[in-house]
Every structure is written in structure tokens, then in C-alpha cells.
Amino acid sequence: MSESVSSSRAHEQFIRRLELIAALTQGEREVLGALPLELRDFPENSDMVSEGDRPTHCLLLVGGFACRYKTLTDGQRTIMDFHMAGDVPDLLTLHLPKMDHNVGTLTAVTAAFIPHRALNEAIAAQPRLGSVFWRETLIQSAIFREWLVVVGRRTGHQRVAHLICDMHRRMTAIGLASPAELPLPITQIEIGDALGLSSVHVNRVLQDLRRDGFIAGQGRVLQIPDWHRLEQFAEFDPAYLHLKPMPMADDH
């Protein structure tokens, strides 16, 4: 059920993920590589952290997809963000001890538990790591702001297009997608929950986008004939992701 290693694949993923948003020194990489991790598997559609929890660990996603969501009194849920390998969705519990929302899995997930204490010791040993973690939570914040604009002001078609662009950038950054193919691991219901649309409407929007040549491919693996065109349509500007320039960026 659990296992403890030093500088495993999980460590590497975490380090590579942080290097997408900040440069790391060798000393910092070493401290990160020595973090104690306990791997654990979660089934599809289960909660990893729940509203009201006061966790003593953070969760590093190693495989699979998760989302951050709230459930309303009438049972509706709002998905506020998606998470994937390398993300630590509950990094905020370091300084906001009580969760005010849930983090749940979309697919089966493997995650590594990192004790708060170990993270704080890492920060103490390499203070700049504190800034990197802080920065990571600020980028999260920037993503929420951008989604606020998307959900508040754009049409259904633009919202769906924006979500596709967003996921594509993030998945490409960690090697899970390519300019050619985007394997989206989320249902139309979940897309609706994230964008404030009904699943019925999401379905119709996807058909329109397909008809208009913005997306292609059936099932959950999308091909996008013209990224530039899609991004333009969605008014997608990746600046809010604050990623350093990608190695194999497909920018015009």
C-alpha cells in the first residue's frame, strides 16, 4: 500500500514540474529529491482531500487526473481546476490549514504523501524553495482569475475552446499531450461542471466545434487541426499559466 524511496520517479516529476515555473539550483534539487514520499493509490471518482479537513500532508500527483471542486447544497458541483502529474493541489494547506473545498480523482490516481513537516524543513534548508512553492500557489491563483473571466464573460463555445487550450498547454508541458493529439480524460459532464454549462449544452457545443473544424477525432482523444485558430477563437492567452517557454512550444 505504501513505499518510501529516495529520489524516485515521483521526485523527478515534482522537480521537473517546479522547473517549469522557476529555475532551481543543484542544492534545491537535492533537497527536493530527498523528500520523504509515501505512494498511495486512489480509485476513480474518490475524494483525496475533503472540505473541512486539516491535513498534515500534501499530495503530489504522480499519475492520473484530479480536480478541485465544491458541491452546492442542491447537489450541483463546480469544478474549479484540473490537476495532473507533478501538481500538488493542496499545497495551500501549508498555510491555510482548513480545506474549504474538495480535491477528488477523475481517473484512478497515484499520489505521494509529503508531510507538511518535511516541506517546511526543505524550505528551512533552502529558503528559496519557499518562494518557489509560494509562486506555485500564486500561479494557481492566476488560473482561477482567468477562469473567472472565461466563465463570467465568454460564450459556451469559447469556454469549451478555452478549456481545451488550457489543458493542452498544461498536458504538453509535462509530456502528456502533443501538438498532434490531446487525450482529454474528462467527461462532458465534468466539462460542464467546470464551465458552468449543462452537459447537454457541452455536447452540442462540441458538435459545433467539430463541424466548424476547430476540433477533430472522436471519443476523448482530440486532434486540433489549427491550434492558432482555436486559441484565437477562445481568446486564449497562455500568459496566465506563467510557464517558462516550452522546449517544444508550438507557438506561431
Partner DNA sequence: CGTGTTATTGACCAACATCAAACTTAGTGG
Partner DNA sequence: CCACTAAGTTTGATGTTGGTCAATAACACG
Return the residue matching grid coordinates 461542471. 193
Give least dist CB 46 to DNA, A: 13
Q: Does 206 bind DNA (CB under 7 A)?
A: yes
Size of the residue set binding a second copy (CB under 8 A):
39
Query: Which partner from the list a second copy, DNA, none does 73 bind, CB cut-off 5 to 8 Å by kind?
Result: a second copy
Give the start-end residues of each E strand in 23-123: 38-42, 47-49, 57-63, 66-71, 77-83, 102-105, 109-115
> On the CB side of 153, how many CA atoms lie within 13 Å of its CA?
8
Query: Which partner from the list DNA, a second copy, none does 57 bind, CB cut-off 5 to 8 Å by kind?
Result: none
Query: Which partner from the list a second copy, DNA, none does 157 bind, CB cut-off 5 to 8 Å by kind?
Result: DNA
Give least dist CB 115 to a second copy, A: 17
**Packing angle, helices 188-195 and 199-211, rounded to 10:** 100
How many residues are there in the chain? 252
Interacting residues with DNA between 136 and 175 (CB under 7 A): 155-157
Query: Which partner from the list DNA, a second copy, none does 68 bind, CB cut-off 5 to 8 Å by kind?
Result: a second copy
Q: Does 75 bind a second copy (CB under 8 A)?
A: no
Which residues are within 8 A (CB) of 180 and not within 5 positions of it... i.e. 6 or more apart?
223
Give the start-end residues of each E strand in the chain: 38-42, 47-49, 57-63, 66-71, 77-83, 102-105, 109-115, 182-183, 221-222
* Among 34-42, 93-101, 170-178, 181-189, the segment contacting a second copy (CB under 8 A): 93-101
Among 117, 145, 228, 244, binds a second copy (CB under 8 A): 145
Pairing between β-strand 57-63 and β-strand 77-83 as defined by DSSP bridges: unpaired
Among 196, 217, 235, 242, binds DNA (CB under 7 A): 196
